[in-house]
């Protein structure tokens, strides 16, 4: 991944790994060690953690599974791990986690085989396997990441710790979380309220059904609470809730590619009534207020658009609209002080100029005065 720092492989059965000298124990390393990655059978983790503590290692990432997610004996083992780490003031990520990736360092401390390109997204996941699938997908889609963190069982460090760290990281513009449980609910909400004032925080919650909650418990030993309670608390502090992985990243890409709106008031531009109605319904459902156009904007729309066009909000430029008509409507909307963001909908019809319309929107975005423009080009091969 291009990491430039020092690496000390530890394995009592090897003399060399990837051309690096291998040590039998962390205690054999003469230099100071900031972070240790532990990926060995669970039964050996306590001994290695004890050695790390004696060495003065500041933090450990325990990738090993076989702890509280496996039942009572695993829970006892995990408690012993926490006790060891606490005794040496050594912070712990995991166990039963994928690790961590940071593209700005760059650093890949995980068993994910791929490294995403650098970007502004920070992703915290309680599921390591979901994390690997997402990492593979974002590479295909060329979506940039700044940091990825797998929480695992959250024996010590949890979503609150990493959300706080990402909140203060200028390399991260939006924070995504996949969570199955939140043990410190009130503390999480308070910290999320603080972080959400600086950058968007978006949560995909697993275990929202009774069957899903049961599965979450066996996956990471998680304790899950009422989803309705989560929804209510999240909305109060400004957290966005996604309903799928796809929606989670639609939010993320929108926030990283576009400026945040500076107030309420969204304009919708469409070439078909149905999509405009659906977008309006969804805005109302989500509490997003439609902009009320000024008298000047309204008169300009009436004077230039065809008589059959709708000059309210949504603006319906009609099915025969070419790129120039879309451009005019978008210019008028962006120029209205009451409009803080614009949604542009396009359906492929006989006279639709999909490519030319897209090019016009890109050009207009450069002079959009910091107002986000979100596009929805509906259809398939024609768009």
Task: Say which CATH number the domain at 70 has.
Answer: 3.40.50.720
Assess whether 111 and 194 both reside in one domain. yes
Assess whether 120 and 205 both reside in one domain. yes
Average pLDDT of the chain is 93
Residue at which a domain ends, from 257, 285, 313: 257
Assess whether 137 and 79 both reside in one domain. no
The widest CA-to-CA distance across the chain, in whole angstroms, is 83
For position 223, what pLDDT does the model report?
43
| pLDDT tens track for 207-260 | 665 554 455 444 444 444 566 777 888 888 999 999 999 999 999 999 999 998
Assess whether 352 and 211 both reside in one domain. no
How many independent structural domains does the chain possess? 3
Across the range 332-360, mean pLDDT stands at 97
Contact 350, 327 (CB under 8 A): no
For position 209, what pLDDT does the model report?
57
How far is 118 from 115, CA to CA, in rounded Å? 9
Assess whether 253 and 106 both reside in one domain. yes
Domain encompassing residue 118: 99-257
Residue at which a domain ends, from 93, 110, 137: 93
Average the pLDDT over each of 19-28, 99-108, 138-147, 211-220 and give the range with the smallest value.
211-220
For position 228, what pLDDT does the model report?
77
| pLDDT tens track for 272-316 | 999 999 999 999 998 899 999 999 999 999 999 999 999 999 999
- Proportion of the chain above pLDDT 90, given as a percent: 80
The DSSP symbol for 286 reads H
Assess whether 60 and 205 both reside in one domain. no
The DSSP symbol for 295 reads H
Residue at which a domain ends, from 45, 73, 93: 93
Residue 112 has pLDDT above 90, yes or no: no
| pLDDT tens track for 47-77 | 999 999 999 999 999 999 999 999 999 999 9
For position 210, what pLDDT does the model report?
57
Q: Indicate the pLDDT class of residue 342, thresholds 50, 70 and 90.
A: very high
Torsion of CA 33, 39, 43, 47, to 10 degrees: -10
> DSSP of 129-191, one letter per residue?
HHHHHHHHHHHHHT--EEEEEE-TT-SSS-HHHHHHHHHT-TT-SEEEEEES--SSHHHHHHH
| pLDDT tens track for 142-200 | 999 999 999 999 999 999 999 999 999 999 999 999 998 888 988 999 999 999 999 99
Assess whether 46 and 177 both reside in one domain. no
Assess whether 104 and 89 both reside in one domain. no
């Amino acid at each position: 991944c291009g990491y430039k720092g020092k690496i000390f492989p530890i394995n009592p059965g090897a003399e060399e790994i990837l051309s690096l000298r291998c040590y039998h124990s962390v205690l054999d390393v003469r230099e100071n060690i900031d972070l240790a990655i532990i990926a060995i059978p669970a039964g050996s983790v306590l001994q290695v953690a004890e050695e790390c503590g004696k060495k003065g290692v500041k933090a450990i990432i325990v990738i090993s599974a076989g702890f509280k997610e496996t039942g009572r004996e695993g829970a006892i083992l995990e408690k012993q791990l926490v006790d060891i780490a606490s005794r040496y003031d050594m912070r712990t990520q995991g166990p039963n986690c994928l690790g961590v990736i940071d593209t700005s360092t760059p650093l890949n401390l995980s068993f994910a085989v791929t490294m995403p390109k650098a970007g502004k997204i920070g992703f915290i996941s309680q599921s390591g396997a979901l994390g690997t699938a997402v990492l593979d997908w974002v590479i295909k889609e060329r979506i940039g990441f700044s940091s990825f963190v797998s929480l695992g069982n959250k024996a010590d460090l949890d979503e609150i710790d990493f959300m706080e760290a990402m909140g203060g990281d200028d390399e991260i513009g939006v924070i995504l979380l996949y969570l199955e449980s939140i043990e410190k609910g009130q503390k999480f909400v308070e910290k999320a309220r603080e972080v959400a004032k600086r950058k968007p925080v978006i949560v995909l919650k697993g275990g929202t059904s009774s069957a899903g909650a049961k599965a979450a418990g066996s996956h990471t030993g998680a304790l899950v609470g009422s989803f309705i309670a989560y929804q209510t608390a999240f909305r109060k502090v400004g957290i966005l809730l996604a309903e799928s992985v796809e929606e989670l990243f639609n939010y993320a890409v929108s926030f990283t590619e576009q400026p945040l709106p500076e107030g309420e008031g969204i304009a919708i531009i469409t070439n078909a009534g149905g999509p405009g109605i659906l977008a309006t319904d969804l805005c109302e459902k989500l509490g997003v207020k439609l902009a009320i156009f000024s008298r000047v904007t309204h008169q300009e729309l009436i004077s230039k658009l065809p008589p059959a066009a709708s000059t309210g909000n949504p603006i319906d430029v009609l099915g025969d609209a070419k790129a120039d008509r879309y451009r005019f409507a978008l210019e008028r909307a962006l120029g209205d002080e009451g409009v803080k963001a614009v949604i542009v909908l396009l359906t492929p019809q006989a006279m639709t100029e999909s490519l030319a319309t897209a090019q016009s929107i890109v050009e207009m975005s450069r002079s959009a005065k910091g107002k986000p423009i979100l596009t929805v080009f509906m259809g398939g091969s024609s768009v």
